[in-house]
Amino acid sequence: MPDKKIVRNALRCLTCDTVIESKHRHDFVQCNCPSDSTTNIFVDGGLDYVRYGYGVDALVEILTEYAYVENE
Ligand SMILES: [Zn+2]
């Protein structure tokens, strides 16, 4: 059973056309939409875990990439 490893933790907000990328565990990144708007998106967790969320009207492209590594 190969391990699933995060190689990129990123999203694109299609409302403000911004790519946001979390580079490390406590790197909480938001797009340029106001944080209280319903189109705001965020990503967190870096390469340790993928956590993201967005408002009800958000348009999001998921850019997160995974690699599969065989266990020895
Ligand atoms: Zn945005």
14 C-alpha vs ligand 1 centroid, how far in Å?
7
Q: Give how far the C-alpha of residue 37 lies from the chain's centroid of Cα atoms, to the nearest Å.
A: 18
CA 3 to centroid of chain Cα atoms:
20
What is the chain's mean pLDDT, rounded? Answer: 95
- Beta-carbon contacts of residue 58 (< 8 Å; ≥ 6 apart): 13, 15, 33, 38, 39, 40, 41
CA of 18 to the centre of ligand 1 (A): 6
pLDDT higher than 90, residue 70: no
Q: Is residue 24 assigned to a domain?
A: no
Side-chain half-sphere of 44: how many Cα atoms within 13 Å? 8
Q: Does the residue 9 lie in any domain?
A: no
Tally of domains in the chain? 1
CA distance 22 to 26: 8
The tokens of 33 are what? 């939409």
| CA 57–ligand 1 middle distance (angstroms) | 10
Q: With respect to residue 11, please indicate whether it lies within any of the assigned structural domains.
A: no
pLDDT digits (tens, 9 = 90+) for 15-46: 999 999 999 999 999 999 999 999 999 999 99
Lookup: tokens for 19? 């790519």
Ligand 1 geometric centre to CA of 64 (Å): 17
Overall pTM surpassing 0.85 (yes/no): yes
